[in-house]
Structure 1
């Protein structure tokens, strides 16, 4: 508590910041959501914090990030980069002490260039 009163940062705020930081790391294909996230997706609800779990106290927090890494990137390096990015931005934006950032690599995505081809080469009869 400061002399003006209390400041409480919502779990969702920390989740959103952490999700954005993790998604911006090169080599992260996307965040990997759990069962609740898949149900939300089926119901048409998009949650930008899929794949992030947080515990926020008054002055500190702990964060878990579940990611899918693009094939060809060094997994341990990507995971460490996610940890650093999340730690830095949460500390900078919220002032909370980040006790831990656990990164769980759920899958590796092989991005196929042929899947991104357009239908320009197909003749229409």
Structure 2
């Protein structure tokens, strides 16, 4: 049963089968969203949740996927930079995620919901950068 939850998509060809885990789709979507200007973090999806800055270890945070045999739907929860046009950022995320997921997995992305959970101000971003590392 656990294996069924991990397998997102399975394709059979003459040489065997190809399996793609849900986490792979989450990471692809998270990486695509991270490249969009105006996105400063991902949120857990809970309104009061703590947003985290994008980084390699948390690329799937704030990304939920629902997949079928040939189609996928993606929900992304983000924090945008103050001054960015939210509709433009959201549209660019939808384009980037759709292109990346379809190109890398072969699935058809039928829906991408972008949920803006907060706005980060410049002084908040600078404070985090100045912390001891």
TM-score (norm. length: structure 1): 0.77
Contact 1:22 1:82 in 2 (8 A): yes
Where do 1:27-106 residues align within 5 Å?
27-34=38-45, 47-106=58-117
RMSD of aligned Cα (Å) = 2.5
The yes-or-no answer on 1:15 pairing with 2:20 is: no
Unaligned runs of 5+ in 2: 1-11
Contact 1:29 1:70 in 2 (8 A): yes
Higher relative contact order (CA 8 A, sep 6+): 1
Distance 1:69 1:33 in 2: 14
Quote the residue 2:6 is aligned against.
none
Contact 1:8 1:58 in 2 (8 A): no
Structure in which a larger fraction of residues adopt strand? 2
Quote the residue 1:122 is aligned against.
none
Contact 2:36 2:89 in 1 (8 A): yes
TM-score (norm. length: structure 2): 0.73
Deviation at 1:57, TM superposition (A): 1.5
User: Which protein shows a greater Rg?
Assistant: 1
Count of residue correspondences:
111
Distance 1:117 1:33 in 2: 21
Contact 1:65 1:101 in 2 (8 A): yes
Contact 2:45 2:117 in 1 (8 A): no
